[in-house]
Amino acid sequence: MRLIHKIETGEKWEVMSYFYLLYEDLNYLEDSNIDIILLYVINALSEATNNKKETETYVNQQLFSVFGTHLNSDEVKKEFLKLACNIVSNYSKKDYLYFMAYDQLINSIYSNKKEKVKEYILKNTNSYIGKKFYEYYNDGNYLPF
């Protein structure tokens, strides 16, 4: 409930810090509170994809990987898909951070939904960028070492 309070009164860094510490306990909350938290965090992550350093922080904290089991409401699903599109749209050529963010995000959902997410991304992003993203992503040769 402190996380809900921080969403209402705190700053983004406070909310994201609390979320990092408490996301494993989301199941103890009511669905409506989970939705509020996830909508805030997904929007914050979407904005973060515009900033490489911020994206790196959240990738290192594994925050892109926590949504799959909580995609219950239409609003959360919509924002999840928007986040996936933002990751693809904001990556730069072979930038492993965005591949890692995408990997965390896509691996958080059930395997039968992964192809549907990919189809949605390809329909709702620049077709050239989407195709290049998946070309490099599927190549698997994007790690920095």
Residue identified by tokens 């599109």 is: 85
- CA distances to 12, 13, 15, 114, 123 from 7, rounded to whole Å, are 8, 10, 6, 30, 32
pTM comes to: 0.87
Q: Do the domain assignments include residue 80?
A: yes
In the chain, the number of structural domains is 1
Q: Do the domain assignments include residue 21?
A: yes
Q: Do the domain assignments include residue 63?
A: yes
Q: pLDDT tens digits, the chain, 145 residues: what are they?
A: 777 877 888 888 988 998 898 888 888 888 888 999 999 999 999 999 999 999 999 999 999 999 888 888 999 999 999 999 999 999 876 578 999 999 999 999 988 899 999 999 999 998 888 888 888 888 766 555 5
- Structure token digits, residue 34: 């989970």
Crossing angle between the packed helical segments 111-124 and 127-139, to the nearest 10 degrees: 140
Q: Do the domain assignments include residue 145?
A: no
Q: Exposure string (b/e) for 47-85, b if CB count within 10 Å is 16 or more?
A: ebbeeeebbbebbebebbbbbeebbeeeebeebbbebbb
Q: Do the domain assignments include residue 58?
A: yes
Residue 32 belongs to domain spanning? 2-139
Q: Do the domain assignments include residue 49?
A: yes
Q: What number of other Cβ atoms are within 10 A of residue 29's Cβ? A: 16
Q: Do the domain assignments include residue 144?
A: no
Q: Do the domain assignments include residue 56?
A: yes
Render 17-33 in DSSP notation, one character per residue: HHHHHHGGGGGGS-HHH
**Cα 97 to the center of its chain, rounded Å:** 12
